[in-house]
Amino acid sequence: MRDQLRVLKHGLIASWTMYSAYQTWRLWTFTWLSRLLIQACFYALIGRMLGSQQQVDYLLIGNVVAVMAIDATVVILISVGERQSGTLALMVAAPSTHLTVYLGKGLVNLGSGVAASTTAFLVLPPLFGVRLPWPEAALVPLMILVVGVSCYCYGTCVASFVLGFPSARWLALNVSYLVLMTFCGVNVPTSFWPDWLRAITSVLPMTHGLAAIRAFIAEAPASTVLGQLALEVCVGAGWLAVAAMSFTRMVRRGRRDGSIEFGG
Amino acid sequence: MSVRVQDLTRTFRKGKGWRPKGDQVTALDGLTLHVPEHEVHGLLGPNGAGKTTLCKILSTILLPTSGTAEVLGHDVVSGAAEIRRHVGIVFGGERGLYGKLTARQTLRYWAALHLLPDARAKERTDALLTRLGLADKADDLVETFSRGMKQRVHLARGLIGDPKLILFDEPTTGMDPVAARDFRELITELRDEGRTILITTHDMDEAEEVCDRVTLIDNGRVLATETPRGLAEMSGLHRWVEAETTLDVTGIPGVVGTETRNGLLRVKTTDDRAARAVLDFLLDNGVRSVHAVPPRLEDVYLDLIGRRGMEV
Ligand SMILES: Nc1ncnc2c1ncn2[C@@H]1O[C@H](COP(=O)(O)OP(=O)(O)OP(=O)(O)O)[C@@H](O)[C@H]1O
Ligand SMILES: [Mg+2]
C-alpha cells in the first residue's frame, strides 16, 4: 500500500512537471478555462431562450459540473502516450501495478477539471440569476470533486481498453465524455430516457453525483443528498475495479501477442 | 544460475488487429541458454536473429510460445512479479524517455515504480547521476540531451532498482568512443558488484572485451556458446601476423595470403606454427614491430554466420 501511494505520488509529480511544461496559469485561464466557461454559458443561454429561469438553473448547474468531464477522461490519451514515448515496456517490466501508474498520471488533468468546474460554479450562477443557498453552497465543490474522481475512474477504465487499440484514442475520448454529457442528466433529466437507457445511466459516473448536487442546491433532505453521493462513490469504485481487471488483461494480451515493444 | 532457458520457442503472426491472420514467423526456435550468476554474457547474431525477442521474454514483457525460461529461479510466466523486482532493462535508441523531465526527475519517477522508498531513491539517484557523469546535467530536460547522454539516462534508469540481472539490448548505440569505453568499464564494475549481465551487441570488439562468454544466435537457434577466446580457438580460423615491413613472406609454408594497409603488412597463416615461422623470419630480418594476432571475435562471427551481406 505504501509502495502504491508512492507510485501515485511520483506519477503525479512527473505528470505535473510534464503538464506545466506546456501549460502556464495564464494559458490555462485564457484558453482552457474560458473555453469551458463558455461551454457552460452556451447551454445556460439556451435555457434563457427557452424562457424559464428553471431551465436556466437546470442547464447551468448541469453544465458547470459536466465541463470537468473532458479533463477527467483525458487519462485515455495519456495511456496511449505511454506507447508513443516508448515507456510502456519499461512500465510493464517494473514491479509496480500498472493501474496505479496510470491513476497517478492523469491526476493533474483531473485537478484541472475540478478547478474549472469549481470556478464555473463560483462565477457563473450570479450572471444567470441562479440562486444558491450560501453559505452551505460552499460544500458543492467537494461534491464536484467526488463526481470528478468517479469520472476519472471511468476514464481510466476506458484508457485500459484503448491501450489495446491505440488508434481509437481520440474517438474513445470524445465518445466517453459525450456519453456523460448526453445521458447523465446534464441537459435533460434521466427520466427522459427509456427505462433500459436509464438503467445504463445509473451505472455511469456523474448521474448520481449531479443529482446529489441538484438536490443539495434545492435544499432537499440531507439523506437524499448523501444517498446519491454514496451511489456516485460506488459507481466510481465499480469502474475502478473494472479498470484494474482490464489493465491486467490488456497487459496479458500484449505479452501474448508481442505488442509491448522495447522503445515503442 | 541467473538465467536458465530451455527449448525456448516464440512465434509471431504477421499482420495487424486483434487476431492477426498472416504468416507465422519463428523468432526463437528451441533455444537453450544457461547464464550463471556474476557473468557478463554476450548475445551476438545478425538482424532478426531473435536477440531482442529473448530479452523481452526474460524481462517478462513477452510470453514464450513453448519451452521454459527461468530468471533468478523464477519462471517468466508464473513468477513474473518476482522477476520484475530484480531485473533491470536498458535498450538503445532515444525512446523510452520523457523529454519534459530532467534526468533527476526521470530517475526519481522510475525509482518509485521500482518500489524504492523515497530516502533510498534519492540516495541512489544522486549516486547514479554521479556515476554516469550526469551530475552537471542532472537538472536539465532530457529532451535537450545528446543521444549518448540520453543513453546514459537509460543506463541509470536501468540500474535504479538495484537489479541482480541486467538486460542490455544494444546499449552503446549512439555513444561516442569515450562514453563507450566508460560503458565497458561500467559493465565490469557491475559484474564485480555481483550482478549478472546479458548484453546484445553488434560491436564485436565490445563483446570480446567485456563478455565472459558469448552466445552466437542465428535464426532463433544457438550456434555456439563459448568464451570469446575459446570461440576463436575452436573456430580453427587463420592466425594473422602484423608487421611494419615491405619484406616478401609469401614463400613461407603456411602463408595463405598477405595484404598491406597504411604500410602495415598483414599476413594470413593457416595455424600457430605457420605464424611462428613468419614471426621468426621477420625478426631474423631485423623487423622490430611485429606481432601475431589471434583471430578476433569478428572473424569468428563472420565465419560462423557467413558473409550474408544485407540478407536477413
Ligand atoms: N511483435 C512482433 N511481431 C511479428 N514479428 C516479430 C515481432 N517481434 C519480432 N518479430 C520477428 O522475430 C524475428 C526476431 O526479431 P528480433 O527483434 O528478436 O531480432 P534481433 O536479433 O533483436 O535483431 P536486431 O539485431 O535487428 O535487433 C524477426 O524476424 C522479427 O521480424
Ligand atoms: Mg534487436
Using a CB–CB cutoff of 8 Å, tell me whether A5 touches chain B: no
Nearest one of B227, B225, B210, B231 to B302, comparing CA atoms:
B231
Using a CB–CB cutoff of 8 Å, tell me whether A101 touches chain B: yes
- String of b and e for A35-54 (b: at least 16 CB within 10 Å)? ebbebbbebbeebbeeeeee
Domain B238-294 in the same topology as domain B3-14+25-233: no
In this structure, what C-alpha cell is assigned to residue A202?
A: 445509473
Phi–psi pair at B119, nearest 5 degrees: -60, -45
Using a CB–CB cutoff of 8 Å, tell me whether A139 touches chain B: no
Give the residue-averaged pLDDT of B181-206.
90
ipTM of the complex: 0.86
Q: What is the 3-state secondary structure (H, E, C) of A112-127?
A: HHHHHHHHHHHHHHHH
pLDDT tens, residue by residue, A44-85: 888 888 888 888 888 889 999 999 988 888 888 887 888 888
Nearest one of B144, B136, B110 to B124, comparing CA atoms:
B110
Task: Give residue A264's pLDDT.
Answer: 47
Question: pTM for the complete prediction?
Answer: 0.85
pLDDT tens, residue by residue, A120-164: 999 988 888 888 888 888 899 999 999 999 999 999 999 888 888
pLDDT tens, residue by residue, B210-247: 999 999 999 999 988 988 888 777 666 677 788 888 78
B169 C-alpha to ligand 2 centroid (Å):
7
* Alpha-carbon span A82 to A104, nearest angstrom: 13
Nearest one of B213, B224, B239, B236 to B295, comparing CA atoms:
B239
How is chain A split into domains, by residue range? 2-261
Q: Are B9 and B31 in contact (CB under 8 A)?
A: yes
Q: Are B94 and B171 in contact (CB under 8 A)?
A: no
Instruction: Write the class of the CATH domain B3-14+25-233.
Output: alpha beta
What is the CATH number assigned to the segment(s) B238-294? 3.30.70
- CB-CB neighbours of B119 under 10 Å: 8
Chain B residues whose CB is inside 8 A of the A255 CB are 60-63
Strands (DSSP E) found in chain A: none
Using a CB–CB cutoff of 8 Å, tell me whether B202 touches chain A: no
Put simply, the answer to whether B60 touches A9 (Cβ < 8 Å) is: no
* Alpha-carbon span B39 to B197, nearest angstrom: 6
User: Distances from the Cα of A23 to the Cαs of A12, A32, A82, A258, in angstroms?
Assistant: 15, 10, 20, 36
Provide the shortest C-alpha distance from residue B259 to chain A (in Å): 43
How is chain B split into domains, by residue range? 3-14+25-233, 238-294
Ligand 1 close to Cβ of residue B130 (< 6 A): no
Question: Minimum-distance ligand to the CA of B54?
Answer: 1
Nearest to B96 among A17, A18, A86 (CB): A86
